Amino acid sequence: MMQLLRRSLAAQFIGFTLAALLISQALTFLISWDERSKALSAATKSEFFSRGTSITRLVESIPPQFRAQALNASETRYSKFWLTDNEPEDPRTWRLDALDQLSRPLENFVDLSQAYGWAAPSKLKLPDRSEVASENGGEGWARPSALLWNLPQEAKAIYFDRRNGYGLAVQLSDGRWLNVATYQEDKGRWWTSKSLTSVGLTALILALIGVFIASRIARPLRNLARSAEALGRGENLPPLAEDGPEEIRRTAVAFNKMQSRLHRFIEDRTKMLAAIGHDLRTPLTSLRLRTEFVKDEDIQRKMLATIDELQSMTESAIAFTRGEATAEETRAIELEALVGSICDDQSELGQPVTYVTGERTTYRCRPDGLRRAVRNLVENAVRYGGEARVFLRHTATSIDIVIEDSGPGIPEAMKEKVFAPFFRLEASRNKETGGIGLGLSIARAVARQHGGDIALVSVEKGMQAVISLPREGNVEMTAIRRARRWQLVGPVKLPQAGKLAGRVKP
């Protein structure tokens, strides 16, 4: 759950909205609860004294023999009336008598709970006698104010069970005392079923609104993320839709401008490099003609060798810029088949190249550029490492094409420098055995155009060149489910080295 909150914008938005709702509702209930309790107590007290006044007038107006029946008819589940001959003196004794009176069942109570399945108890849920006896111990009888009691009869009032119960004793004209007791069973809780249902419905509505708003915010952000990832892999994308809220629209406009500027910058750079390489042909041709007038054959030979080297570098630079300027479309291919075909081609040419097949992987890429990068690394491994072992490796974030050789490797300090254009390690890559120095540069440029990179890793017996491609370009991966049974297929004996070349298949 926490991982979802950290990763999902919609989950965070909904979570914060619901948290704000719960906090605001809790604060609102806490603030209003005290006022509600006071208002409820005031209403209960007002009703109690109003009812006591009415009952007193009723009892005083009817003959004594009918008073008991009138009081029984006037009782409710939470209010009881009874007559005593003597004035109640001890508050503790009167509170316990009131508790007994309140526990009496109503004589006129009609129980409909069985007929309709209602939960309507005929008795109050009263506190324990020990609690009533111990509570309000320091409080005695008190005379009610003129606002609460305006009859000429003498009356005195008392509390019990803190402030949940009210008692009243009134001296009648015949000397007897009318006792009135009422008990407020429950002042109510803010977490009642109605309030919880209200909060739940509000939370549900806010969650649905949050999902709608978060999806409107997240959808253009997801489109922006996919476009940025595709742009990093060198794909030509249509401009993003510049609509929606102001912030989203401005973000889309900025991204479209950035994409246009990047494409224009790359196009201008490749055009400039191609123009420089093309313009160098004329002075090189002029120098070649002038060397014909040099009479010293040794100097003439050295000059021609230098001109040939410059000519080769110029042609390589032109080919490099043409390769970068080529707008190859990105499409889905079988990556395992592409790498395997390169190894098969090299093996058929008599090169010691071994490919270990693995999981069939469908990947979106520019196949011609990727084929060129893998071929350069395989040829380098054969040329400088004696052989090449190629396989695919799947990690949590990338799909790696690993080309392993058994050569002496490259010093750690030089592993980054070898990717520079026209850079060569003279110890092993001289003019007779090495190329012009653009192979690794081209391979890295292709890998980075796909959003990945190339790393050179030293192993126990040789070195690995690893092309790491991001899994975002992965469309589908199907594992080979049959049991692996390795065997060497198609051995080819080299005339010079006598090594095997082939492809390992499961």
Domain co-membership, 203 together with 352: no
Q: How far apart are CA 359 and CA 377, in angstroms?
A: 21
Domain co-membership, 207 together with 350: no
Q: Which two three-digit tokens encode residue 21?
A: 């709702």
Q: Which two three-digit tokens encode residue 235?
A: 């794909």
Distance (Å) of CA 435 to CA 248, 312, 319, 322, 424: 50, 10, 14, 19, 8
Domain closes at, from 279, 310, 343: 279
Domain co-membership, 207 together with 173: no
Domain co-membership, 140 together with 211: no
Domain closes at, from 279, 312, 340: 279
DSSP per-residue string spanning 389-404: EEEEEE-SSEEEEEEE
Main-chain dihedrals φ then ψ at residue 455, nearest 5 degrees: -130, 145
Number of domains observed in the structure of the chain: 3
Domain co-membership, 254 together with 341: no
Residue with tokens 């609509």: 243
261 alpha carbon, distance to own chain's centre = 32
Domain co-membership, 390 together with 481: yes
Domain co-membership, 391 together with 422: yes
DSSP summary character for residue 482: S
Domain co-membership, 147 together with 211: no
Main-chain dihedrals φ then ψ at residue 440, nearest 5 degrees: -70, -35
Domain closes at, from 183, 201, 222: 183
Task: Say if 309 falls within a structural domain.
Answer: no
Q: Do the Cβ atoms of 339 and 390 come closer than 8 Å?
A: yes
Q: How far apart are CA 264 and CA 261, in angstroms?
A: 5
Question: How does strand 79-84 pair with strand 165-171?
Answer: unpaired
Domain co-membership, 179 together with 199: no
Domain containing residue 234: 193-279
Q: How far apart are CA 75 and CA 83, in angstroms?
A: 13
Task: Say if 285 falls within a structural domain.
Answer: no
DSSP per-residue string spanning 85-151: SS----HHHHHHHHHHHHTSPPTT----HHHHT----SS--PPPHHHHHHTTTT---BPPPTTT--S
Please give the biggest Cα pair distance in the chain: 157
Domain co-membership, 29 together with 173: yes
Q: How far apart are CA 42 and CA 473, in angstroms?
A: 72
Task: Say if 318 falls within a structural domain.
Answer: no
Q: Which two three-digit tokens encode residue 293?
A: 């007038």
Question: How does strand 331-334 pair with strand 360-365?
Answer: antiparallel
Q: Which two three-digit tokens encode residue 7?
A: 């990763």
Task: Say if 290 falls within a structural domain.
Answer: no
Task: Say if 310 falls within a structural domain.
Answer: no
Domain co-membership, 466 together with 360: yes
CA angle 67, 70, 75 (to 5 degrees): 125
pLDDT, mean of each 10-residue run, the chain (506 residues):
61 79 78 72 86 92 90 88 92 90 78 58 72 81 90 91 88 92 70 72 82 79 79 74 80 86 77 74 81 83 81 69 62 90 89 87 86 90 89 90 89 83 58 62 83 87 89 48 33 35 40
Q: How far apart are CA 213 and CA 175, in angstroms?
A: 75
* Those residues with Cβ within 8 angstroms of residue 46's Cβ, 6 or more apart along the chain or in another chain: 148
DSSP alpha helices (H): ranges in 326-415?
335-348, 367-385
CATH classification of the domain holding 440: 3.30.565.10
Q: Where would I find the beta strands (DSSP E) of 175-291?
A: 177-183
Domain co-membership, 441 together with 501: yes
Task: Say if 286 falls within a structural domain.
Answer: no
Q: How far apart are CA 257 and CA 260, in angstroms?
A: 5
Main-chain dihedrals φ then ψ at residue 71, nearest 5 degrees: -65, -40
Task: Say if 57 falls within a structural domain.
Answer: yes
Q: Which two three-digit tokens encode residue 182?
A: 């009422």
Q: Of all helices (H) and strands (E), which one includes residue 55?
A: helix 9-61
Task: Say if 435 falls within a structural domain.
Answer: yes
Residues facing 84 on adjacent strands = 177
Q: Which two three-digit tokens encode residue 414?
A: 């030089």
